[in-house]
Structure 1
Amino acid sequence: MAKPSHKLALRRRPRRLRASEGIRRLIEEHLLTANDLIAPVFCKEDGLRQEIESMPGVFRHKPEDACRFALELHERGVRAVALFPCIPEGKKDAQGTAALDPNGLIPQVIREIKGRAPGLLVIADVALDPYTSHGHDGLWNPENGEIENDATVRLLCEMARILGEAGVDLVAPSDMMDGRIGAIRASLDDASLERVGVLAYAVKFASAFYGPFRDAIGSRRGKGYLDKRTYQLSPTNLREGLLEAQLDEEEGADILMVKPAGPYLDVISQVRARTLLPLAAYQVSGEYAQIVAAARNGWLDLEAAYRESLIAIKRAGADMIITYFASRFVGNAE
């Protein structure tokens, strides 16, 4: 009596393409490399480097150390860094005056990096929140509690010009004021800074995942989160975000960005489907912190988890990713 066969009559067995490391590598649809990553660098005026308590493994660096850190990242294969300042409280005011100092912290770091590594792409944030005593990205009118859009844009144009003259490659307006991309582009062009590109924080949500970053730059005010919902997008709204991306493209942005990344993979995908411009995504501080915290508790494998999170962002359509894991990806540059 013949033994019953347990084999299924299958023409297609997808597992054949997962059977060995060789075949799995051969059919990979998305590959993550250091070329895809932008490393944030937090800068402070002086003193020893400081670890950011809510972002373990991430530090604030004085200018010479920030330059050294950036150069080491570049030597290890990172092509771009994004600079963020932590300004002493005594230099902050309601107008964010320190943002317009040509000899300020970030222009100084830009000049040092570009003087030593001209091929390293340097990106600088354009927003007032690190410089204002109230922590908002723009000029705050205490009489009506509103952020004044057009007056803020005028200051952002001046800030972008100063950063361009310092040698920055890309300015990155993160403020979400209406019309700022077109105004900044015109301001740069009028100053004969046509070479400076604009990486637009085109779709930036009023997210609960920004807390550690606000610690890092010293803009957190009191308990909870500063309410920025009059200029940052509601997490409930996709179409509004797509409109913002369309407007920034029309105004002359060179690169569009979605922020945060992980909780908004659908938004990344939708923006990718609607633009031919390069698309960036920002894996923000809260995304980093939750992965690191879970790994420290033994709940996740850190290496596997952060790499999977980055692949997901790239698979959704991002061409480049700002991530605090960039240093770890290339071997923990110090």
Structure 2
Amino acid sequence: MKAFRYQRATDPAAAVATLAAAPRARYLAGGTNLVDLMKLGVETPDLLVDVNRLLDARIEPAADGSLRIGAAARNSDLAAHPLVRHRWPALSQALLAGASGQLRNVATVGGNLLQRTRCPYFQDTGKPCNKRHPGSGCPAIEGAHRDLAVLGASAHCIATDPSDMAVALAALDAEVVVLGPRGERTLPVTELHRLPGDHPERDTVLAHGDLITAVRLPALPLAARSAYRKARDRASYAFALGSVAAALEVRDGTVHDVRLAFGAVAARPWRAWTAERLLRGAPATEDSYARAAAAELSAARPLRDNGYKLPLIRNLTTRLLTDLTPDH
């Protein structure tokens, strides 16, 4: 591992100022992804700024019914929180599906949102990768791409975002609070991550030095009837081949409202806006759910070995929404 300096930040503004002035510095929170990438030589920071003790780890309800989650909250604590389990169950289920108990005890909410792709070419410094070295190429397109993107990819990158938690947050209309050199701002989770386009090296819209300080879950009534479902190669500690987070409200046999997001299909959690639009006002049936999922996936461009993701996501969506339908 490359030698680096370590600094414990004293307050959020000082941490942001330090990072903004040091192009090769990184924030350190749980470190479950960053330290692994440092060992592989993918990340080679000159300076680590420890933000564990300055970021909020509290999980607190607000007067308007929303929930504020400090960026330093551990994944285990968030998954087990009674309010999350009762009012936003899809989030608890996604966190519990995401990693081993040991990792959840250390990993933070802010870090989970910013974890980097598990594409094998990105993690192997002996191979070219546009995400590591722009312009070097994307061997995954012709190589091992079974686990990689079918939506939103480009000729420069077909990596997928690995977070389970982010898929649930995207479906639940969550927002991210960010502190940057110009102050604090809030943006939807659906706008945090970027599709690769011509700049696959940029995972998110955050600028260098920006620090996630909190996540806000709005008071979304249908979120109480939500769930997360994940398909993977083995039952434990595996990243998704495909996943779905959904919240559903049905009235008199008709879909009144719905939220839907897919995971492991793109470089960001894929909010299924088209499917949601088609479902609102449609019969709450398996046929409606399957048709809406197929319409969302019509823009997919699968490669040689990952076309299976289309029927997988369609079937996961149909089954999950069917299970969420009352009196099913």
- With normalisation by structure 1, the TM-score equals 0.24
Structure that is richer in helix per residue: 1
Structure possessing the higher radius of gyration over alpha carbons: 1
